[in-house]
Structure 1
Amino acid sequence: MKKIGLIGLCILLVACSSPKVDEAKDNPKKEAKDTVVSFFAVGDNLLHDTINYEAKEYGKESGRNYDYRPFYKNFKKQIQEADVSFINQETLVGGEELGISGYPNFNSPKEVATDIATTGFDLVNLASNHSLDRGSEGIANALKYFDEQKELTTAGINDSAERQSQIATFKKEGITFSFLAYTYGTNGILPANSYEINYFGDERIAQDVAKAKELSDVVIVSAHWGDENSFALNDMQKHYAQVFADAGVDVVIGTHPHVVQPNTWVQGQDGHTTYVIYSLGNFLGGMLDTKNIVGSYATFDVIKDAKTKEIRVANEDVKPLVIDFHGNQANILDERYDYQVMPLTKDYDKIAAEHVLNGYEGQVVSYAELMRMWTYGTKREI
């Protein structure tokens, strides 16, 4: 017993005299990671008659009146994987009760709102030159259909002065975002009530952005501007890009021209820089010129620094997409079908020749030709 006690005492003394274990090395302090919110953005959801006809056929298969989801299937994974995905709803979604129609006076079924949500989009611009194609009733219906999709944040049209005064906000990963939207006009149609449409205006934008900055960490703007079918920026775009930068907007996503335009950084008067995508072109549409079947999809990150808590926009990129469809060139206005939108890659040449616009009025549909136009539009000097 005494021997055991002596051995135990020796062990205790050795343990006490051993050097202390460095707890900091055994339990290294984990460095805080930056917070990253990923964005994905596409352009105009331009629903022509032939697209609506095909959506009705898809609806017969899925037991619905209309089904637009198949058109977006090639981008569904990217849309859903991003923390926030944006789309411009070019055409009014006023529902069947107001008559479904395409160009030039558009109105789309309520299923569009449902399918945008179920595909995985989060942000939807509703301010376009077609927002008043069915007047005040169309505005009310569109807001009703989109408000039913609780996961969506929309901006640009309003059914009351109170709604117009409110700033749309949403939260991701602890970062609060504001979403504002404006259009240059509504095809000469005047609103019955001034609050129905968010038109561009220096004073309005300054007030809205100031309020948005009080409510949020990041301000995103959808800008419906520019000249249709023009790769070049107009004076209005240049002016308001500067207005947004001076006001402290973080990102501007441009729509309306139906062709792609450049993306760049604009410096504001206080040194603040704003990332401006001037035009993403069409995401889905049935226009008959090859420059209108080439669009862009954009990605960027909003990053909050773990140490400084500063927020920045980074990792910005744009890539090309193509709207593929077939049809009968002899009756092309009424016979266009098999619509699908997909990333534009070299593999597109395997099916490009089957595009209904290939050979139509001398046009060429090929990877090289579409990339030539996309590069010309996105890389041109501003």
Structure 2
Amino acid sequence: MNQVVKHLICTLSLSLLFPIATFAQQASKKHADAPSKQVSILFAGDMVLADLPGKTIEQGHDPYAAFKDIFASADLRIGNLECVIATTGKAAEKNFTFRAHPRVIPVLKQHFDAVSLANNHSGDFGPEAFSEMLSLLKTQELAYFGGGNNVSEAHRPHIIEKNGLKIALLGYDEFMPRSFEANTNKAGVAWSEDEQVVRDIINARKIYHADIVIPFMHWGWENEMTANKRQRQLARIMIDAGADAVIGGHPHVIQDTETYKGKPIIYSIGNFMMDALDNEAQTLGWVVRLHVNQHGALAWDTRLIKIDPQGTPTPVADANSPCWDKKTGQTKLCSNAQLK
């Protein structure tokens, strides 16, 4: 009798386990067969909307007009706001200080889904002006990241949900002056301390449940055409922590690109809109269109831009500029005319 009971118990247990295994297999197959949730994100480099670009807007013109179609080719558009937008504050003691009038915000909002504040000019007129900018951006509903009223806000990712994907954007500055950094009771930028950056990337997934995490960096030395040791080291730290791609700016020139663990690093996309330019290389930049799905970066392509003496960019229609796709793992030159 005991053998019969044991046999029945074994049979019953197996019959219960098989459906569970079957359901797990079906769920795994369903996930594998799920359609790709693709999103394209366009990144534009340093934008100073003071001085001549600001005057263009004041006169009722749109300095972004030449990029209308290129911007429309992406699902999301992100730029680095390389100035403070405010009417208050006192200029810091540094070579260049940039403060734009609040009238520029509607133009920015027309073209961008979010802007990074993590740079060495958004604090040019002090914490009071920085706080005013945050208030103005919130009032006009233009999203921002890489800065906040305190250190916690500054390091909080901006989450965008698009096409079924949850994308986390983080912004960091690591170019002086560090006095622009946010602290517990002062508005300012997010500074890129390695341990904090790693925590931020991990938390973007763990707490905010992001599918994709992208740091937008302000780093490197001005006018250097290749990334330095520190940039390369930090890029790898971020990808090891879980970043899906790293996009950089600040050197005011285009720098090199590479792939690490199958994930793209674009060290500097150069300038996008400013009139205070020192040399020919500073008049050239890229807009980068990054293609991602739920598994990470699929590809990226670039459009070469040229900035005129008024600080206004235009696409260089007949140029070839770098592009990459994960399938081949190769970076090559693509024609601007092909990237619609």
Q: Same fold (TM over 0.5)?
A: yes
**Could you say what secondary structure the match of 1:279 adopts?**
coil
Letter in 2 for 1:189: S
Q: Are residues 1:87 and 2:76 paired?
A: no
* Contact 1:98 1:107 (C-alpha < 8 Å) held by counterparts: no
- Give the aligned CA root-mean-square deviation in angstroms: 2.7
Shift, 1:291, TM fit? 0.7
How far apart, in 2, do the equivalents of 1:165 and 1:128 lie? 13
Letter in 1 for 2:66: N
Q: Are residues 1:51 and 2:45 paired?
A: no
The 1:303/1:138 distance shift into structure 2, 3 A limit, reads same
Match of 1:126 among 102, 117, 121: 117
Shift, 1:345, TM fit? 2.8
Letter in 2 for 1:246: D
* Contact 1:39 1:84 (C-alpha < 8 Å) held by counterparts: yes
**Counterpart in the other structure of 1:285:** 274
How far apart, in 2, do the equivalents of 1:32 and 1:188 lie? 46
**Counterpart in the other structure of 2:264:** 275
**Counterpart in the other structure of 1:340:** 312
**Could you say what secondary structure the match of 2:254 adopts?**
coil
Q: Are residues 1:72 and 2:64 paired?
A: yes
The one-character-per-residue Cα deviations of 1:185-205 (angstroms, maximum 9, x if unpaired) are 343535573563211111101
Shift, 1:237, TM fit? 0.5
How far apart, in 2, do the equivalents of 1:300 and 1:192 lie? 29
**Counterpart in the other structure of 1:199:** 191
* Contact 2:155 2:190 (C-alpha < 8 Å) held by counterparts: no
Shift, 1:265, TM fit? 1.3
Percent identical: 28
How far apart, in 2, do the equivalents of 1:45 and 1:204 lie? 26
**Could you say what secondary structure the match of 1:240 adopts?**
helix
How far apart, in 1, do the equivalents of 2:157 and 2:317 lie? 39
**Counterpart in the other structure of 2:131:** 140
TM-score by length of 1: 0.68
* Contact 2:245 2:264 (C-alpha < 8 Å) held by counterparts: yes
* Contact 1:49 1:103 (C-alpha < 8 Å) held by counterparts: no
In structure 1, runs of 5+ residues without a counterpart are 1-30, 60-68, 268-272, 305-310, 326-336, 347-366
**Counterpart in the other structure of 2:299:** 315
**Counterpart in the other structure of 1:159:** 149
How far apart, in 2, do the equivalents of 1:193 and 1:35 lie? 37
* Contact 2:115 2:143 (C-alpha < 8 Å) held by counterparts: yes
Letter in 1 for 2:297: V
**Could you say what secondary structure the match of 2:99 adopts?**
coil
Letter in 2 for 1:341: P
The one-character-per-residue Cα deviations of 1:123-170 (angstroms, maximum 9, x if unpaired) are 3110101122111112201111222233x4321111034424633212
**Could you say what secondary structure the match of 2:251 adopts?**
coil
Higher Cα radius of gyration? 1
The 1:224/1:190 distance shift into structure 2, 3 A limit, reads closer
**Counterpart in the other structure of 2:237:** 243
How far apart, in 1, do the equivalents of 2:164 and 2:52 lie? 43
How far apart, in 1, do the equivalents of 2:225 and 2:114 lie? 25
* Contact 2:62 2:107 (C-alpha < 8 Å) held by counterparts: no
**Could you say what secondary structure the match of 2:64 adopts?**
helix
The 1:343/1:103 distance shift into structure 2, 3 A limit, reads farther
Shift, 1:104, TM fit? 0.4
* Contact 1:45 1:91 (C-alpha < 8 Å) held by counterparts: yes
**Counterpart in the other structure of 2:259:** 265
* Contact 2:118 2:190 (C-alpha < 8 Å) held by counterparts: yes
Q: Are residues 1:174 and 2:176 paired?
A: no
Name the structure with the higher strand share: 2
Shift, 1:317, TM fit? 1.3
Shift, 1:177, TM fit? 1.0
TM-score by length of 2: 0.76
Letter in 2 for 1:320: L
Letter in 2 for 1:226: G
Aligned residue pairs total 286
How far apart, in 1, do the equivalents of 2:90 and 2:63 lie? 22
**Counterpart in the other structure of 1:361:** none
How far apart, in 2, do the equivalents of 1:265 and 1:210 lie? 21
How far apart, in 2, do the equivalents of 1:165 and 1:126 lie? 11
* Contact 1:222 1:254 (C-alpha < 8 Å) held by counterparts: yes
> Where does 1:186-225 land on structure 2 (aligned, <5 Å)?
186-187=176-177, 189=179, 191=181, 193=183, 196-214=188-206, 215=208, 216-225=210-219
Letter in 2 for 1:282: N
Shift, 1:36, TM fit? 1.4
The 1:185/1:227 distance shift into structure 2, 3 A limit, reads closer
The one-character-per-residue Cα deviations of 1:309-346 (angstroms, maximum 9, x if unpaired) are xx131121122111123xxxxxxxxxxx4x53111134
**Could you say what secondary structure the match of 2:100 adopts?**
coil
How far apart, in 2, do the equivalents of 1:137 and 1:126 lie? 15
The 1:32/1:187 distance shift into structure 2, 3 A limit, reads closer
